[in-house]
Structure 1
């Protein structure tokens, strides 16, 4: 975490002052904050074919029905590291002082564990522990957007027991109750300047809490023929409720203090819904070496974005406490291929696209989403009978993301661009088969 000394706010307009409690600032890209890359072999495919292709137990994360395709007992352990390049650059319309914030996402590690067990020819059970939801941002404390956010994180770790059954030789169904443990934290500066007539250090606000929510993953897996597999999966939403007393430090502005009292922030409750999703995938063997894969998906981000708290106080003491995230549903499409180079070595490649959950005009620095392109590749190698290892790399390209964010009452504008924004995701792991 970047921690700096208090910043002496300067040059604020005489028309008002503002403090923003953006208490739902999930850091997100790629259509939202779902992370397809959980370190498994399939991360080298940009999510192509993920609900149809069953090569290891990690498939239960995408489609619980597909574990009926796995023989015996299998264990897959993986990890990934997300390296970000997310840097904000001010433009001539910016009205806030401060620096440009540095790289807001330097790195974020993750790990996963999946197990499947074939009970008999028809039924199978499995278990998954994975983190495929959430990211985090950490700007410099004295950056130009510090009154919107300085640091925030929302991390969800899911635990999913799974049962799947083969009704026919070709048709399988599966269900996986999902228990998510979630952590949320946000921190921002509070402008203590009153009508620009003072030169006081910023105050600080911090909010954090954890919660547990439940949902369910269900899926259908169908073998259309000896060479083609289809998968259709639905993931329900997970409702989370964070409730905390925000920690406020060094706030000596009487107008701001009055606004905080009116908001009753001693007991602030925040509700979040992890979106429901639908995913359809296909995997087709061209021949003994080449396999083609594809996926189409939908994510219900519109419900996730209808919550939040914003306090914007002008010189007269009027208070605005609404946030309009204006999120919209997203869609995903991906194509991929696997090439069996020899009996022990397999190569994967994939290209994916995710639409943005927010229009350009509604983008905010506490949630700088945009459309994303994925380019992924990976290899799987059989070290010995019953033991495979895999490594993969994914480039998530976000390009230029403009921001023009204005305080509703004070009227000050934060303006700039995240230039050439990207994520680099490196993952790897091993699968044991017994």
Structure 2
């Protein structure tokens, strides 16, 4: 049996089926106000989360504050194998809780500095016992935390620039799958790959231009980060004695390229109560062409097999976002938005942990200020993925038989809440 068929496949090192707000396995839940406005934030500034969306816009925040938010992603993913098989199969879906937090400090009228933390990737999925794709994936649990230090400067009252140093501060992954072998007592063999990601650095830069109080333009760039797991643990169980010599590897290493993102945005303020925003994001997923594993301490899947590769062949993807905010009273603002996000995974390349598809998102939110210094933000996102299928003939033609043929359908609901304190 070839090692390629034994891989815990997918962009699953630091990825997730339940990634929300972006193609592939991104999660864009990095600011409660921004979520409520369809994930916009490049062409305007709403609060300290501008550090993530556009460091150039952060230059105009103009006050010091601390804010924190948490979301609960509730995915529902179903799968129907090609030809009907056992009928529709539903994941034992687990909720995940991405968080975000920012501290921003006004140094003077032109200079702003800040520190932020957010969770761009994370999931916990458990497929049902004996499901059709159990030899591709049974369980995935992962966590990642990014930290960003940001500085921004308003060159003029109309022009601001900013930059952030980004670090993958913490990454943890646990992937599991069954192996098509049975032990002497009849149990199915099982494999687990787990490990922690190395610390890696990237950057985030942006610019904002405000020709008037009613109009603003922004652009930002977030660099790619190669998430690398080295010295990860390989554990197998239920291997029959006759095949034991083919499963002796104890460690693995692998690298997942997390793509760079170009964003462009416009903010419009027709009057003092209404704010409108439009964003376009280009995510360079084409960097992700294959997922390669290297094994140490032995072999995995056959004599002499110490490495393997699984094709991905992703393509660049675009997302279009629209949002609005209306100030109902001096203390209450409401928001709504939506987006359309194009899939980055090509036909015939879907994996159980990333069944990507074109998707539509609808959002809503509010802010209530209890005083000039303290307030609460609420947000809600509903994301509907188009149903997507792949056949066994597609997998054979693409050389992707390390995954499963059938039809996926995904929806995600994400309520969220946050608080802020100005000082």
TM-score, length-scaled by structure 1: 0.85
Mapping for residues 16-415 of structure 1, pairs under 5 Å: 19-22=6-9, 24-25=11-12, 26-28=15-17, 29=19, 30-48=22-40, 50-92=41-83, 102-180=90-168, 181-192=170-181, 200-211=186-197, 212-243=199-230, 244-252=232-240, 254=242, 257=244, 259-260=246-247, 265-309=249-293, 321-404=308-391, 414-415=404-405
Instruction: Name the SS for the 1:42 alignment partner.
Output: helix
Q: Distance in 1 between matches of 2:403 and 2:141?
A: 24
After TM superposition, give the deviation of residue 80 of structure 1 in Å.
Answer: 0.5
CA RMSD between the two structures: 3.0
Q: What do the CA deviations read for 1:37-89 (whole angstroms, capped 9, x no partner)?
A: 235211101112x1122221111111122222122311111110000111212
CA displacement 1:161-218 (0-9 Å, x = unmatched): 1111111121111111001122222111111159xxx993211111111122111111
Residue 413 of structure 2: aligned partner? 424
**Unaligned stretches of 5+ residues in structure 1:** 1-16
Name the CA distance, whole Å, in 1 between partners of 2:201 and 2:306.
Answer: 35
The answer to whether the 8 Å contact 2:55/2:164 transfers is yes
Change over 3 Å in CA distance of 1:346–1:318 after alignment to 2? closer
- 8 Å contact 1:39–1:80 — kept in the other structure? no
* DSSP-derived class of the 1:365 partner: coil
The 8 Å contact of residues 43 and 217 in structure 2, kept in 1 or not, is answered as yes
Following superposition, the deviation at residue 317 of structure 1 comes to: 11
What is the CA distance between 1:19 and its match in structure 2? 3.3
Partners of 2:288 and 2:305 in 1: CA distance: 28
Distance 1:388 1:250 in 2: 55
Residue aligned with 2:130, SS: coil
Once the two structures are overlaid, the 10-residue window that deviates more, 102-111 or 209-218, is: 102-111
Residues 189, 158 of structure 1: CA spacing in aligned structure 2 closer, same or farther, 3 A cutoff? same
Q: TM-score, normalised by structure 2?
A: 0.87
- How far off its partner does 1:320 sit? 9.7
Counterparts of 1:358 and 1:409, CA distance in 2: 15
Distance 1:91 1:228 in 2: 51
**Number of aligned positions between the proteins:** 406
SS at match of 1:246: strand
In structure 1, distance between residues paired with 2:78 and 2:128: 11
Q: Aligned in 2, Cα 1:153/1:357: closer, same or farther, shift over 3 Å?
A: farther
Q: Which piece of structure 1 moves more, 98-107 or 390-399?
A: 98-107
For residues 400 and 229 of structure 1, the distance between their equivalents in structure 2, rounded to whole angstroms, comes to 37
Q: Deviations over 1:344-399 (max 9, x none)?
A: 21111111011101123221223211111110011111111211211111001103
The answer to whether the 8 Å contact 1:18/1:312 transfers is no
> Judging changes above 3 Å, is the alpha-carbon distance between structure 1 residues 100 and 248 closer, same or farther for their aligned structure 2 residues?
farther
Q: Distance between the aligned counterparts of 1:32 and 1:61, measured in 2?
A: 19
- Going from structure 1 to structure 2, the CA distance change for 1:387 and 1:149 (only over 3 Å counts) comes to same
Segments of 5+ residues of structure 2 without an aligned counterpart are none
Pair 1:120–1:317, CA change in 2 (3 A): closer
Q: Secondary structure of 1:61's partner?
A: helix
Q: Distance in 2 between matches of 1:410 and 1:307?
A: 12
> Aligned in 2, Cα 1:242/1:378: closer, same or farther, shift over 3 Å?
same
